[in-house]
């Protein structure tokens, strides 16, 4: 680590360089920046893709006020450097010479061409940890393939398990909105990088940390892989569930998840809704027959649910210890009394001073809490400042900017 004075930030004194675009590397370094690490983000002079993704307040596109970019890049300083140019790579090398960690999501085929070869960087600074995030890793037959979030959901197996809600079994495989594979890769990159930095405390040596986004997706699919070698079954969202009710129902004002697979849960639920005649049919005698006859049972249950609001049905079931769960929308979460009481959401200002509400940290430190020390940077906001720290004179910076190397 650098020899800065101790800080009450958990990662105070740790210096990080981020070279990336869009989500993965940005989210990895955000985890560290929010805990106090000093992060310098290198963007291409045309700007990070996230700046064009939005969402934008009022629908007016502004590369300095993209909601995604603002969230991913709190607590960082930002410089704009073209790493395809030799002069840009020299800036990168000088930054890496002062850093503890360099994290990037540059495609494997472009790593060396952009001055990011870990061997060369660590030859200059042996203690440097270099973390590489790529779709499929740095070796193997797919190493040079490009991929978007949709490709990675499919390659990782998650799309085959992901459903579109009730009545969607006949739909093709699906993915969730956004760049969830990038977030998973970034989270794993942050954890793995901290492990390498911790090891360096003893050895004094840096190392290469390699992250495959496909493997990040593949590793979180619960027990789905064991089904095949252990039971000879292919896990899928399709097909009949062996026990029921374990599904979604539509209420007056939204969706609720019903879980009555244990017999005592089912009987309490039936009592709660007045023991209708259909509930006593032999077709629905136990959880196996309820599953075998789910097409019929779901009609009755959706009729029941349609007479309730989500909140009323949830609380009625909760009072009887039946594990129902409301399906939260984004608006529900933002208005959640529980999340508000815990102070989960944070409000920061965009570069124009307008407030932006975003998720906070999903953890708490009692002695070294996370905090937002600065908003996300404008494009190239700290270029002059950082280059001055690296020893570039004002005239050098003027020439680099005139040549299009920096912005």
Domains and CATH numbers, the chain: 15-219+371-402 (3.40.50.10540), 246-250+255-326 (3.30.1540.10)
The reported pLDDT for the residue numbered 7 is 56
**Spatial distance between the Cα atoms of 336 and 24, rounded to a whole number of angstroms:** 28
The reported pLDDT for the residue numbered 324 is 96
**To the nearest whole number, what is the mean pLDDT of the chain?**
93
The reported pLDDT for the residue numbered 168 is 65
394 burial level (CB within 10 Å; 0-12, 13-18, 19+) = exposed
Largest CA distance in the chain: 87
**Spatial distance between the Cα atoms of 258 and 245, rounded to a whole number of angstroms:** 6
Residue 354, number of CB atoms within 10 A of its CB: 11
- Gyration radius of the chain over CA positions: 26
Which parts of 206-313 are beta strand (E)? 208-212, 246-250, 255-259
Q: If you average pLDDT over each of 2-11, 131-140, 230-239, which comes out highest?
A: 131-140
- The stretch 363-372 carries a mean pLDDT of 94
Bridge partner list, 130: 102, 208
- The stretch 64-86 carries a mean pLDDT of 97
Label the pairing between strands 345-349 and 355-359: antiparallel
99 burial level (CB within 10 Å; 0-12, 13-18, 19+) = buried
The reported pLDDT for the residue numbered 3 is 44
The reported pLDDT for the residue numbered 164 is 64
**Spatial distance between the Cα atoms of 280 and 332, rounded to a whole number of angstroms:** 36
Task: Characterise 87 by phi-psi region: left (phi > 0), alpha (psi -120 to 50), beta (else).
Answer: alpha
- The percent of residues in the chain predicted with pLDDT above 70, rounded, is 96
**Spatial distance between the Cα atoms of 113 and 137, rounded to a whole number of angstroms:** 17
pLDDT in tens, 235-258: 777 666 778 998 899 999 999 999
pLDDT in tens, 150-182: 999 999 999 888 866 555 667 788 888 999 999
Which tokens sit at 100?
A: 């503890």
pLDDT in tens, 321-361: 999 999 999 999 999 999 999 999 999 988 888 899 999 99
The reported pLDDT for the residue numbered 354 is 87
**Whether residue 245 has a cis bond before it, omega within 30° of 0:** yes
The reported pLDDT for the residue numbered 169 is 66
Going by C-alpha positions, the residue among 247, 243, 324, 250 that lies closest to residue 290 is: 243
The reported pLDDT for the residue numbered 5 is 45
Label the pairing between strands 325-326 and 255-259: antiparallel
- The stretch 303-320 carries a mean pLDDT of 97
Between the alpha carbon of residue 305 and those of residues 141, 233, 240, 318, 398, the distances in Å are 51, 33, 21, 15, 67
Dihedral, CA atoms, 117, 119, 125, 131, nearest 10 degrees? 60
Q: How confident is the model at residue 2 (pLDDT cuts 50, 70, 90)?
A: very low
The reported pLDDT for the residue numbered 234 is 78
pLDDT in tens, 94-144: 999 999 999 999 999 999 999 999 999 999 999 999 999 999 999 999 999
Q: Report how far apart the first and last C-alpha atoms of the chain are (Å, whole number).
A: 29
**Spatial distance between the Cα atoms of 36 and 281, rounded to a whole number of angstroms:** 62
């Amino acid at each position: 680590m650098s020899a800065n004075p101790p800080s009450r930030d958990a990662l105070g004194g740790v210096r990080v360089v981020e070279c990336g675009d869009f989500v993965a590397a940005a989210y990895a370094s955000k985890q560290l920046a929010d805990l106090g690490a000093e992060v310098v983000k290198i963007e291409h002079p045309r700007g990070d893709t996230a700046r064009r993704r939005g969402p934008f307040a009022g629908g007016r596109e502004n590369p300095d006020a993209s909601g995604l970019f603002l969230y991913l890049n709190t607590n960082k300083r930002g410089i704009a450097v073209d790493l395809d140019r030799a002069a840009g790579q020299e800036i990168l090398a000088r930054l890496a010479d002062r850093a503890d960690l360099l994290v990037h999501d540059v495609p494997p085929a472009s790593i060396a061409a952009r001055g990011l070869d870990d061997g060369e960087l660590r030859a200059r600074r042996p203690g440097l940890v270099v973390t590489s995030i790529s779709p499929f890793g740095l070796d193997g037959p797919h190493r040079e393939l490009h991929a978007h979030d949709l490709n990675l959901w499919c390659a990782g197996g998650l799309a085959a398990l992901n459903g579109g809600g009730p009545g969607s079994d006949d739909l093709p495989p699906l993915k969730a909105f956004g760049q969830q594979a990038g977030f998973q890769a970034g989270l794993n990159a942050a954890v793995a990088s901290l492990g390498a930095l911790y090891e360096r405390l003893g050895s004094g040596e840096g190392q290469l940390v390699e992250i495959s986004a496909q493997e990040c997706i593949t590793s979180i699919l619960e027990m789905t892989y064991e089904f095949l070698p252990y039971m000879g079954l292919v896990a899928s969202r399709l097909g009949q569930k062996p026990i029921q009710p374990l599904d979604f129902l539509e209420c007056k004002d939204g969706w609720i998840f019903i879980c009555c697979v244990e017999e005592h849960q089912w009987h309490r639920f039936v009592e709660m809704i007045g023991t209708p005649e259909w509930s006593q049919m032999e077709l629905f005698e136990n959880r196996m027959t309820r599953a075998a006859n789910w097409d019929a049972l779901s009609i009755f249950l959706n009729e029941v649910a349609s007479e309730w609001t989500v909140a009323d049905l949830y609380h009625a079931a909760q009072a009887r210890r039946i594990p129902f769960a409301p399906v939260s929308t984004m608006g529900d979460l933002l208005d959640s009394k529980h999340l508000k009481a815990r102070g989960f959401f944070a409000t920061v200002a965009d570069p124009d001073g307008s407030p932006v509400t975003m998720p906070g940290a999903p953890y708490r430190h009692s002695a070294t809490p996370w905090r937002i020390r600065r908003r996300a940077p404008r494009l190239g906001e700290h270029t002059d400042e950082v280059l001055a720290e690296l020893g570039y004179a004002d005239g050098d910076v003027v020439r680099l900017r005139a040549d299009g190397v920096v912005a």
